Structure 1
Amino acid sequence: MDDRKPNGGETEEYQLPPRLTDKQWNIAEAALRVFSEKGFSAATTSEIAREAGISEGTIFRHFRTKKEILLALLVPLISNTIAPNSVNSIRQLLLTNENLPLREVLVLISEERQQFILSNEKLIRLILTESQYHPELREIFFREVGYKTQDVLLRFIEQRQQKGELRQDLRPWALARSWFGMLVTFTLSPFLMPERSAGEDKRKELEDVIDLFLHGALPPTGRGAAAPECPL
């Protein structure tokens, strides 16, 4: 049975145990391998049981549904592994390279995010896919990874504004959100639109993204000129 529901549908409340037993972790880790290979919807509890080396009935003594297995696996992984590793990695990068020019740091941030995603490719692909169907998963992923990463970038933007490397008349939050949006689109496009990303020059694309953030889309002679009025 597919436990997924599209966005906007009613969701069932789940009370996950604060700490999984060894048997529950064995089931959850087996489920991760099956989900990563087949996807949550196509995976069956019998396949999870076979991967875990247990009977299917044993699964239902520990978890009520396939969705409960998914959440029991991914919620602690996001909170205790993915989120702290993601945030600490970018925070350490910024601290180590705080004296480098702005453009060089933006390149390093982009490359670090790409590497982080590649290192956790199957897990992140599963999280992104299932976040569309499970609000509980989407909420914790954005809260623990997305928002906390934005906060780190916000402090970085504020520091670079104080150094005069970025415009001080723009709100730091607007700049941080703009860069974060570009960064997410750039790093996740191979997952979300693989057919569009195949064969692209990633380094050139990265340079274009950074140029767009730093200088905008207007040609050099047009920067600072009044934009023509747009008829309604």
Structure 2
Amino acid sequence: MPQSDSLRELLLLDSTNRKYSEKQLKILEAAIDTFSEKGFAATSTSEIAQKAGVAEGTIFRHYKTKKDLLISIVTPFMTKLLGPMFAKEFVKEVFDISYNNFEQFIRKLAYNRYEFVKNHRIVVKILIQEISFHDELKEPFIELFHDQIYPKFHEKIIYFQTKTEIVSLPADTIIRLIINTIVGTLLSMFLLLPEKNWEYEQEMEQTIQFLVNGLKVQS
């Protein structure tokens, strides 16, 4: 799906069922493009207006501040794609499955996140750029992970340790290593070095093997 179509679908996921005018959609799309390229702080509303083909005053008729514009972009993403219902679907797709071995689990987890970032990379980039600076973006992630995902993740790690498939490091350490490795690969491919001619499937396979070999019990 083209990114422009994906962005429109994302914006139309507003949990308030708010109806966007064509002009608002152009403003939001222009803001997404500019925030993604330059970051929130370095972007001016005049740049967004120019890219959207509207007067700057039109932006402020819809959004009181530039930060309100940012929140309007990220909120549908967070409420629909990272909210409780999505978290339950993620848990069901990845953690509520029986696996024959640890490699199957890591493969499922890695490719699930790969497809997610590939499909929503522009808004993911904005979110990553800004999450450290805006508590209203950060706190829902912490709560969601802690309440919905972490317990299932911890349970899987203990299960594979019980089967002596992975090393007996603290479960929290193993979770951190898995997250950092997968997220680091995805950030490099889609956000930090997107212009590089990546072999996506090969990179994912190498990441999976790195985790599996690095965490397995040595005989």
Q: With structure 2 as the length reference, what TM-score do the two structures score?
A: 0.68
Residue 78 of structure 1, CA deviation: 0.6
Amino acid in structure 1 at the alignment position of 2:185: F
Cα RMSD between the aligned structures? 3.6
Is 1:110–2:96 an aligned residue pair? no
Aligned to 2:216, the other structure's residue is in SS state: helix
Amino acid in structure 2 at the alignment position of 1:187: L
Which runs of at least 4 in structure 1 moved beyond 6 Å after TM superposition? none
Please list the CA deviations of residues 33-74 of structure 1 after superposition, one character each: whole Å capped at 9, or x if unmatched. 1133222433525745974x8764344244211111211331
* Separation in structure 2 between the aligned mates of residue 102 and residue 140 of structure 1, nearest angstrom: 29
Residue 206 of structure 1, CA deviation: 3.1
Amino acid in structure 1 at the alignment position of 2:32: S
Contact in 1 for aligned 2:158/2:171 (Cα 8 Å): yes
Tell which structure's C-alpha radius of gyration is larger. 1
* Separation in structure 2 between the aligned mates of residue 134 and residue 109 of structure 1, nearest angstrom: 28
Amino acid in structure 2 at the alignment position of 1:135: D
Matches for 1:54-73 after TM superposition, within 5 Å: 56-73=56-73
Contact in 2 for aligned 1:110/1:183 (Cα 8 Å): yes
1:22 corresponding residue in structure 2: 19
1:184 corresponding residue in structure 2: 183
Query: Which piece of structure 1 moves more, 127-136 or 146-155?
Result: 146-155
Contact in 2 for aligned 1:131/1:137 (Cα 8 Å): yes
Q: With structure 1 as the length reference, what TM-score do the two structures score?
A: 0.65
Residue 107 of structure 1, CA deviation: 1.5
Amino acid in structure 2 at the alignment position of 1:206: I
Question: For structure 1, which runs of at least 5 residues remain unmatched after alignment?
Answer: 1-17, 224-232
Flag the structure with higher helix content. 2
Residue 124 of structure 1, CA deviation: 0.6
Is 1:206–2:208 an aligned residue pair? yes
Question: For structure 2, which runs of at least 5 residues remain unmatched after alignment?
Answer: 1-14
- Relative to structure 1, is the Cα distance of residues 207 and 32 closer, same or farther in structure 2, using a 3 angstrom cutoff? farther
